[in-house]
Amino acid sequence: SDGGETEMQQEVQALKQERDSLYDRLLRKQAEFENYKKRVQREKTEFVQFASPDLIRELVSVLDSFELALRNALSESEGNEDLLSGFELIYKQLQDTLGRIGLKAIDATGQKFDPSFHQAIATVATADLEENTVVEECEKDICLTA
């Protein structure tokens, strides 16, 4: 009976050591993950601080053109469904990439016109919408966030 008890104590000791080892690994992984999150946030903040506004405007202009071409192609898509699916995928990928670096498109359609953000090209008289409501966008507006 003494031999069984000693064996059980050794097994308990081995399990405690394994638990301690796993707990230590968990703490290290948590610290690594926190450091990773801080690094990503720091990189994003640095990008926002040093990103060229001209480059950002150019990228958004390309995105606008891509969206317009995609919309036009979708209206005449007979026989080109696979090609259009590919373009939609690329467009989504570009949007996601810009989103990850902090660029976010602001959809003004249906919003109240704000002269500090919007530029009016024309006005449209309609009974369907409240006065000074944005009816259509010619170009997307963007917001760069840290």
Structure tokens given for 46: 């640095």
> pLDDT by residue (tens digit) across 29-42?
999 999 999 999 88
The Cα 75–Cα 11 span in angstroms is: 71
The kind and range of the H/E element at 75 are: helix 53-75
pTM score of the predicted model: 0.42
14: Cα within 13 Å, side-chain hemisphere: 6
> pLDDT by residue (tens digit) across 70-91?
877 777 767 777 777 888 888 8
- Residue identified by tokens 């026989």 is 79
State residue 129's pLDDT score.
Answer: 74
